[in-house]
Amino acid sequence: MTELDRGSDVLVVARAGETQDAILSAVAAQELDAEVLTDPDRVAGSWRSAGTVLVADDLAEQLVGLALPHREGVFLVGTDVARLSAWSAPLAAQVIALPQGGAWLGSVLADGASRVRAPVVAVVGGSGGVGASTLAAALAQLAGERSGGAALVDVDPLGGGIDLLLGAEQVDGWRWPRLSSADGQLGDLRRHLPVVDGVSMVAMARGPALDLAREPLAAIVGALRAWHSLVVLDPGRSAVPAAREALRLAARQLLVVGPGVRGAAAARQTVVALGLDRAELVVRSSRGGLPADLVADVVGRPVLATLPEEARLVDAAERGEPPARGARRRYRRAVANLLGELVGAEVHP
Ligand SMILES: Nc1ncnc2c1ncn2[C@@H]1O[C@H](COP(=O)(O)OP(=O)(O)OP(=O)(O)O)[C@@H](O)[C@H]1O
Ligand SMILES: [Mg+2]
């Protein structure tokens, strides 16, 4: 398989000199990682995968000559006002004139960095069929309604397909087989992936079993983080390498606990078997079920949220109606609160 390029935060195209120094000190101040190229002829490989591209004014003409594909997030930086204005349009770049634009350079980089850092959440079932994929999809859907959009990645080859859950099996777009053999720059995947309700999906394809490797997953998640406000992973309950990688990549591991003593006991075993040392529990509440603190004691992990029973979800899943649309408000509200715990409440300007 060809190696996928995850892309650095910032691509700097600048010869050694004052402009390069100004750019690199701004990059260092934001604690970003930069790829520095002094020769524009070598830019093609990283052009689309970098989060932000900064081009020094004296290399702009040469770069335009390469006729690179259009991309967002390109800035032309330097002190030569004539060059800056001449090459900004052909590069579709915004201009940062130095030294007066130094502060803006910093905020442009901070902006790019905030895109790069979209949180990654994995949702795992504490037992089989407990609603982990449904919750993963509902979280992504509610996050997708916010600005920035969300991504949902199916990492469970035996799970039946996340696209079915969202009614997207007929929606065109790249699925796993295409992505696991993609070469080079991933960049912005949004226009290639099936999208429903603001959720970009990396779904399984129906057909021959796919041997999911961990490397493309890391690259795909890296790229998705740059272009969405939340990335949700559905690793299933197996310990295949890609699922383990999904758990490693996730800053937050949510474990959905089934009702009753058996639900909690199974969740405990799942924590041990999959090494879920960061798991936070989402407890399916049921009448006469265990109190949250007892569930936390049995499983040995803290409870983050409870999730109500929602019989309508079963029908919704059969019809391919996305869960946050098919469920009643009570379930939606619980998922919205959980999303708030994960990424903060939405700020209305
Ligand atoms: N809160 C809920 N209340 C009632 N039914 C639910 C709830 N959440 C999910 N379900 C239903 O439970 C079934 C299994 O859901 P889902 O596929 O999301 O579980 P899973 O944990 O991902 O299963 P698997 O172990 O196969 O991956 C579906 O029919 C779904 O609609
Ligand atoms: Mg599932």
Same domain, 324 and 232: yes
The pTM is what? 0.73
In a domain, 40, yes or no: yes
Task: Out of 72, 91, 115, pick the residue that ends a domain.
Answer: 115
Q: Which ligand is nearest to the CA of 132?
A: 1
Q: Is residue 317 part of a domain?
A: yes
Q: Does the structure show a pLDDT above 90 at 51?
A: no
Residue 349 in any domain: the answer is no
12 in the same domain as 105: yes
Q: How confident is the model at residue 339 (pLDDT cuts 50, 70, 90)?
A: very high
pLDDT at 2: 36
Nearest residue by C-alpha to atom 16 in ligand 1: 131
- HSE (side-chain half, CA atoms, 13 Å) at 147: 5
Give first-to-last CA distance, the chain, whole Å. Answer: 46
CA of 126 to the centre of ligand 2 (A): 11
Give the helix/strand (H/E) hosting 303: strand 303-307
Q: Is residue 348 part of a domain?
A: no
Please report, for the domain that includes residue 190, its CATH number: 3.40.50.300
Query: Considering the domain boundaries, does residue 225 fall inside one?
Result: yes
Q: Which ligand is nearest to the CA of 270?
A: 1
**Which pLDDT does position 202 carry in this prediction?**
94
Which ligand places an atom closest to the C-alpha of 238? Answer: 1
Q: Is 125 in the pocket of ligand 1 (CB under 6 A)?
A: yes
Report pLDDT digits (tens) over 244-255. 989 988 989 999
The CA 130 to ligand 1 mean position distance, Å, reads 5
Same domain, 186 and 270: yes
Helices (H) and strands (E) in the chain, counts: 14, 15
Question: 239 and 326: one domain?
Answer: yes
Residue 162's nearest CA partner among 183, 141, 144 is 141
Output the CA 215–ligand 1 centroid distance in Å: 29
Q: How far is the CA of 54 from the centre of ligand 2 (A)?
A: 42
Domain-located, residue 249: yes
Q: How far away, in angstroms, is 224 Cα from ligand 1 center?
A: 25
Q: Which of 82, 115, 148 is the last residue of a domain?
A: 115
Proximal ligand: closest to the CA of 164 = 1
Residues 196 and 86 in one domain: no
Compute the average pLDDT of residues 232-236. 97
Where helices occur in 96-240 by DSSP H, the ranges are: 102-116, 132-144, 162-165, 176-180, 214-227
CA of 280 relative to ligand 1 center, distance in Å: 18
**Structural domain for 82, as ranges:** 4-115
Q: Are residues 92 and 216 in the same domain?
A: no
Q: List the CATH number of the domain containing 96.
A: 3.40.50.2300
Domain assignment present for 204:
yes
State how beta strands 94-97 and 195-196 pair: unpaired
What confidence score (pLDDT) does residue 14 get? 97
User: So what's the pLDDT on residue 268?
Assistant: 98
Q: Does ligand 1 have an atom closer than 6 angstroms to the CB of 80? A: no
- Looking at the structure, do residues 20 and 127 belong to the same domain, yes or no? no
Residue 18, helix vs strand vs coil: helix
Please state whether the peptide bond connecting residue 119 to the residue before it is cis, i.e. omega within 30 degrees of 0: no
Would 309 be classed as within a structural domain?
yes
Ligand 1 close to Cβ of residue 134 (< 6 A): yes
Residue closest by Cα to atom 14 of ligand 1? 129
Total domains, the chain: 2
> Whose CA is closest to atom 19 on ligand 1?
131
Choose the final residue of a domain: 115, 148, 164. Answer: 115
* Whole-number CA gyration radius for the chain: 23
Q: Is the CB of 310 under 6 A from ligand 1?
A: yes
Ligand nearest to the CA of 256: 1
Q: Which residues contact 161 (CB under 8 A, 6 or more apart)?
A: 154, 169, 203, 204, 206
Residues 110 and 129 in one domain: no
Among 313, 315, 330, 333, residue to substitute to test ligand 1 (most atoms within 8 Å of Cβ) = 313
Q: What is the largest CA-CA distance in the chain?
A: 74
Verify that 149 and 279 share a domain, yes or no: yes
Mutation to probe ligand 1, out of 123, 127, 134, 331 (largest number of atoms < 8 A from CB)? 134
Substitution site in 158, 281, 314, 328 for ligand 1 pocket (most atoms within 8 Å of beta carbon): 314
Residues 138 and 39 in one domain: no
Q: How far is the CA of 95 from the centre of ligand 1 (A)?
A: 50
Q: Are residues 56 and 179 both part of a single domain?
A: no
Same domain as 285, residue 208: yes
pLDDT in tens, 273-294: 999 999 999 999 877 789 999 9
Mean pLDDT of the chain: 88
The pLDDT tens digits for 178-209 are 887 654 446 678 888 999 989 999 998 877 77
* Residue 206 C-beta-side C-alpha neighbours within 13 Å: 8
